[in-house]
Amino acid sequence: MTKPLSFDFTATQLDAVAEFSGQVAVFVESSGKLDQTARRVNRLTKGALERFAESSAFADIEPGQARELVFPTGLEATGIIVAKLDRKPDAKTARKAGSAIGKATGKSGLLVLGGNIARVAEIAEGIALRAYTYSDQKSVQPDPMGGVTFMVNKPEEAASAAAGPLAVAEGVFFTRDLTNAPANHLTTEEFANQLAAMQNLGLKVQVLDEGELEKLGMRTLLCVGQGSDAPSKVVVMEWNGGGDEAPFALVGKGVVFDTGGISLKPAGGMEDMTMDMGGAGVVAGVMRAIALRGAKANVVGLVGLVENMPGPNATRPGDVVTSMKGDTVEIINTDAEGRLVLADVLWYAQERFQPCGMINLATLTGAIIIGLGHEKAGVFSNSDALSADFLKAAADEDEGAWRMPLDPAYDKLLKSRIADMKNVGGRAAGSITAGQFLQRFVKDDMPWAHLDIAGVASVASDTAYAPKGATGWGVRALNRMIADNYED
């Protein structure tokens, strides 16, 4: 998998600045004030940094943004990345400044002159998150990016603070790699193998095959994949870092490719359906992150891995399928397949683990993009407390999310003449009826939230913390929610 940049935290040594041959990053306060390290850079460059800090170009950028001065006189460095950041920034601004530096980082290594600036961990996290490239399918691999040396006054303290965020960044990268991977490479088998390999991190991983799923009665999940030669699977990942308490459950939709099945999608843009396993990718990234940082919590991640293809055995519109719960579902549209996968995995998670709470993630509906665009995920929940906990964590991590309604009034749209329910309710309130469908597979006393990430899992342009393509949205927010609410 793609690994984040390597970070080394060292004590401030001003005499070493002139000889560094890569890029040098410095911080200048909004007022234009230079700290000790920036003053050394300014002296070496014969006042260039001070002139920039007094210019309209510097005045025009916002705190957390950066500009590069290339091939500066007086330094061996190829460029100076100047980030506008006050000495005691808030976490979001510090992370954005790091991201701006990470975006400008080249191949020759980076020296960050942190001095005594606060929020070093968030700056390092931002650098790591933005300095990402997916190149697995390139015949000629690009040169790897150089490492990052953080020169700070308290290096041991900074390294300790940054360890957790950098572990989470690796989880984000894992999610991005999975979501970016083409479907002929990330098959259901390969996906399961990559998750099973995380046993090396201390996770307990179990892969359930089609025979086991049939015995469990997961027929709504199995009906999605029966038109494909790829075997359907459920992967269970357990992290037991807490005490005897019930685990928190994360459930992800893992449709490695979605043609729409018999209800075939239009050809235009269908290549993007490699990202329809994005929910499972986020669950995998969170599980990797909490294992790497040794979270003191019990968390279980479950993902349903299928491929939705038209074929001789494919599920047809009009078929009726019985779920693991025992409810019957009339299939109106085989392109509304994600909810069928999640229905069985949600029920299985509750029956097997009796979790203290549960969140599922899925690239579930195009309707959520119409409603929220690519800025925010839709949050549907039966619990005000759980919803508030997640939304706070998402806000703290600068990952956009917005609560959407659930209401029994929408249930009438899912009524079926011949079965207990239909799998779609029509165009009106499409994201809401999808949430209402899922809620039928959540027990009454179970705190639960459904995150529709169709608009944020993979995007066509750069975001604050990622290049275009897979974003890894949700890994940081869910990790934060677990750390804030479920760790000892």
Report the half-sphere exposure of 173 (CA within 13 A, side-chain side): 24
DSSP classification of residue 135: -
CB 313 within 8 A of CB 226: yes
User: 48 vs 70, 73, 232, CA distance in Å?
Assistant: 11, 9, 61
265 is catalytic: yes
Exposure of 488 by Cβ count < 10 A (0-12 exposed, 13-18 middle, 19+ buried)?
Answer: exposed
Q: How many C-beta atoms lie closer than 10 Å to residue 265's C-beta?
A: 14
Tokens of 156: 């041991």
Its sign, for the CA torsion 185, 197, 233, 249, is: negative
Strand partners, 235: 207, 303
Ranges of beta strands (E only) in 171-247 are 204-208, 233-240
Which of 367, 402, 371 minimizes the C-alpha distance to 387?
402
Its sign, for the CA torsion 363, 366, 372, 378, is: negative
∠ Cα 180 168 392 (to 5°): 100
Sort residue 354 into left (φ over 0), alpha (ψ -120 to 50) or beta: left
Give the Cα separation of 271 and 249 in Å (integer).
31
Give the Cα separation of 215 and 296 in Å (integer).
34
Residues 339, 376, 422, 440: which is the catalytic one? Answer: 339
Give the Cα separation of 280 and 302 in Å (integer).
8
Task: Residue count of the chain, please give it.
Answer: 488
Strands 110-115 and 79-84: unpaired
Question: To which residue do tokens 């964590």 refer?
Answer: 393
Give the Cα separation of 163 and 296 in Å (integer).
15
Q: Is 165 helix (H, G, I), strand (E, B) or coil?
A: helix
Residues 43, 67, 265, 443: which is the catalytic one? Answer: 265
**Amino acid (one-letter) located at 93:** T
Give the Cα separation of 335 and 321 in Å (integer).
15
Give the Cα separation of 315 and 225 in Å (integer).
8
Tokens of 141: 């691999």
Give the Cα separation of 23 and 15 in Å (integer).
16
Q: Which residues are catalytic?
A: 265, 339
